[in-house]
Amino acid sequence: MKGTYLGELEELVLLTVGILFPEAYGVAVMDEIEKQAGRSLNISAVHAVLTRLEEKGFLKSSMSEPTEERGGRRKRIFVLTATGKRALEEANELRTQLYNQIPKMALQFRLA
């Protein structure tokens, strides 16, 4: 396993999977990212990230019931695992922590 380092796109996908619970699968994740972050990804890229996250243990998946719109095929539904949740929290914490360390002066450029 590659360790728990979370890439930028991985983090985005992971968050989206959390948002979409319990209906997170390839196309839905792709649509949600486009809607929320304005980034249009190719479906294959989303699949690649989802598989990678599952390999890292941040996600787990199961097959849904067949649906008409997919020509009777099932979806693979992804949900966050405990490690996935912790990874998100850690990433979030790290960010906040780093953000808070920025001196106030550095952020007051608008007044200058």
Partner 1 sequence: MKISPPRWADRFLEWYCNPALLEEIQGDAYELFYRNAKESERKAKLSFIWNVIRFFRWKNIKKRKPYQESTILHTAMLKNILTVSIRNLLRYPGHSFINITGLAAGFSCAFLILLWVSHEYSFDQFHTKKEQLYKVLTHVDANGTIQTYDVAGNNIDVSTVPEVESITRISSGNRWPHELCFRPEGKSNECIYFNGIYSNETLFSNFNFPILSGDPNPLNEPAQIAISEKMAVTLYPSENPIGKTIKIDDTREVLIASVFKDIPGQSSIQFDFALPFDILKKQWGIDDNMLAQQFFNIYLKTKIPVDVKTLSEKLNNEQVISAAYKAQKIKYEAYAFTDWHLQSKFENGHNSGGRIEYVTLFIIIGILVMSMAVINFVNMATARAALRAKEIGIRKVTGAYRGSLIVQFMGEAFFIVFAAFLISALVTQLALPFFNQLIGEPLTLNLLSDKMPLYLAGGLILIALLAGFYPALIISSFQPATILKGQLSNATTGSLRLRKILMVVQLSASVGIIIFGSILYRQLEFITQTNLGFDRSNTIRLEPTFTLLKNYDAFKNDLLGNPIIERVGASDSNPLNTGGGNIGVDWQGKSPDLRVSFKTIGCFYDFPQTIGLALLEGNNFRADRQIRDSLATEVLISKKAAGIMGFDNPIGEKITIGNAACEVVGVVNDFHTASLHNEIEPIILYRKKIFNVSAIYIKYNPGMAQQAQEIVNTAYKKIEPTFTMKYWFQDETFDELYKTEILASQLVLIFSIMALVIAIIGIAGLATFNVMRKTKEIGIRRVFGASITEVLGVLFKEFSWVLLFAVAVSAPLAWYSSTQWLNGFAYRTAIPWWVFAVTVAGAALLILIIIWLQGRKTICTNPTLALRSE
* Cα–Cα distance measured from residue 44 to residue 26, given in angstroms and rounded to the nearest whole number: 9
Q: Are 59 and 84 in contact (CB under 8 A)?
A: yes
* Cα–Cα distance measured from residue 5 to residue 76, given in angstroms and rounded to the nearest whole number: 24
**27 alpha-carbon distance from chain centroid:** 13
Smallest distance from the beta carbon of 107 to partner 1, in angstroms? 41
Smallest distance from the beta carbon of 28 to partner 1, in angstroms? 9
Tell me the number of residues near partner 1 by CB under 8 A.
18
Residues in contact with partner 1, shown as a per-residue x/- string from 72 to 91 under the rule CB under 8 A: -xxxx---------------
* Cα–Cα distance measured from residue 61 to residue 100, given in angstroms and rounded to the nearest whole number: 36
Q: Is 69 in the site for partner 1 (CB under 8 A)?
A: yes
Q: Which of 23, 35, 36, 43 binds partner 1 (CB under 8 A)?
A: 43
- Whether residue 22 is preceded by a cis peptide bond, meaning omega within 30 degrees of 0, is yes
Smallest distance from the beta carbon of 32 to partner 1, in angstroms? 14
Q: Is 44 in the site for partner 1 (CB under 8 A)?
A: yes
Binding residues vs partner 1 (CB under 8 A): 25-27, 42-45, 47-48, 51, 63, 69-71, 73-76
